[in-house]
């Protein structure tokens, strides 16, 4: 249970959409148990990279490996079952209670099957009870316990976004992919979510790959940072190294600073 997660390796991945190269020979490695941030300007290819990692987009070339397993051409549900779970940039649930949403995340682990559940066979009933107990633990870990039986529609925006995170955790991932987990949140909600990510990483022993525009949060959370610009990796290193990289400054600011020209 507490063995470290497998390394996630992206090697030389290229993705083309009609006439546009969204990813161009991208490589990165998420070290076991680390928080790795993937940053870059809008349109850099960050979400496309997540889509490749979760099996929604097939790359033209390149490979994705989790430990010894090649994920590159597997279907999304197979990748999820192998321990890679994600949240989406723009999707926030409005249906059902927090518990309902977390139980959806548990389905990948269901052994009893729908027929047995519908017939309320003893094994299925026991299994449902276990899933609910685990869902509750994950709600506690993500700060959602007091809302467990509340309709998601009544929660604050920050809590609703954390329901997405909790639902991904219900898949018991070894690697968690978070696409802009604090986008649209206020400062207090951002700080709370950052704390949750830190606690979850430590408590569940996961690796995290994080796409985020909030640089303060990236600098505080990440062990390593990879920077994309126009589908290419332009820098990689510790947050401190990346922050001072001239290529990165240029990508974010558009033009080189006066000092660079001098």
Query: How near is the Cβ of 34 to ligand ADP at its closest, in Å?
Result: 21
Distance CA(218)–CA(211), nearest Å, equals: 9
Residue 132: CB atoms within 10 A of its CB come to 15
Cite the beta strand spans of the chain per DSSP E: 8-17, 20-30, 35-39, 61-66, 69-70, 84-86, 175-179, 207-211, 224-229, 232-237
Does residue 17 interact with ligand ADP by CB under 6 A? yes
Binding-site size for Mg ion (CB under 5 A) equals 3
> Is 15 or 66 the residue whose CB approaches ligand ADP more closely?
15
Does residue 193 interact with Mg ion by CB under 5 A? no
Residue among 20, 75, 153, 202 that touches ligand ADP (CB under 6 A): 20
Query: How near is the Cβ of 255 to Mg ion at its closest, in Å?
Result: 24
Does residue 34 interact with Mg ion by CB under 5 A? no
What is the per-residue DSSP string for 63-128? EEEETTEE-TT--HHHHHHTTEEE--SS----SSBHHHHHHHHHGGG-SSHHHHHHTT-HHHHHHH
Residue 15's DSSP bridge partners are 23
Query: How near is the Cβ of 46 to Mg ion at its closest, in Å?
Result: 5
Does residue 47 interact with Mg ion by CB under 5 A? yes
Distance CA(81)–CA(73), nearest Å, equals: 14
Residue among 10, 22, 155, 248 that touches ligand ADP (CB under 6 A): 22
The contact mask relative to ligand ADP for 34-73 (x = CB under 6 A, - = no) is ------x-xxxxxxx-------------------------
Which residues lie near ligand ADP (CB under 6 A)?
Answer: 17, 20, 22, 40, 42-48
């Amino acid at each position: 249970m507490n063995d470290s997660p497998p390394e996630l390796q992206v090697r030389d991945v290229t993705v083309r959409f009609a006439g546009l190269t969204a990813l161009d020979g991208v490589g990165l490695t998420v070290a076991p148990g680390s928080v790795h941030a993937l940053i870059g300007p809008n349109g850099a290819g960050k979400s496309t990279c997540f889509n490749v990692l979760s099996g929604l987009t097939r790359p033209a070339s390149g490979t994705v490996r989790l430990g010894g397993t090649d994920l590159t051409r597997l279907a999304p549900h197979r990748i999820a079952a192998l321990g890679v779970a994600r949240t989406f940039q723009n999707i926030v649930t409005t249906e059902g209670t927090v518990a309902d949403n977390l139980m959806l995340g548990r389905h990948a682990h269901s052994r009893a099957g729908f027929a047995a559940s519908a017939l309320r066979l003893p094994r299925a009933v026991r299994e449902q009870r276990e899933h609910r107990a685990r869902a509750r633990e994950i709600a506690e870990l993500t700060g959602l316990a007091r809302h467990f039986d509340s309709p998601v529609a009544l929660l604050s925006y920050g809590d609703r976004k954390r329901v997405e995170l909790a639902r991904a955790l219900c898949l018991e991932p070894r690697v968690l992919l978070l696409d802009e987990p604090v986008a649209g949140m206020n400062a207090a909600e951002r700080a709370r979510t950052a704390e949750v990510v830190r606690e979850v990483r430590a408590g569940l022993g996961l690796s995290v790959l994080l796409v985020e525009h909030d640089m303060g949060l990236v600098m505080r959370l990440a062990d390593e940072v990879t920077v994309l610009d126009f589908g290419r990796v332009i820098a990689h290193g510790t947050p401190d190294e990346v922050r001072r990289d001239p290529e990165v400054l240029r990508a974010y600011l558009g033009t080189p600073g006066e000092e660079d020209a001098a």
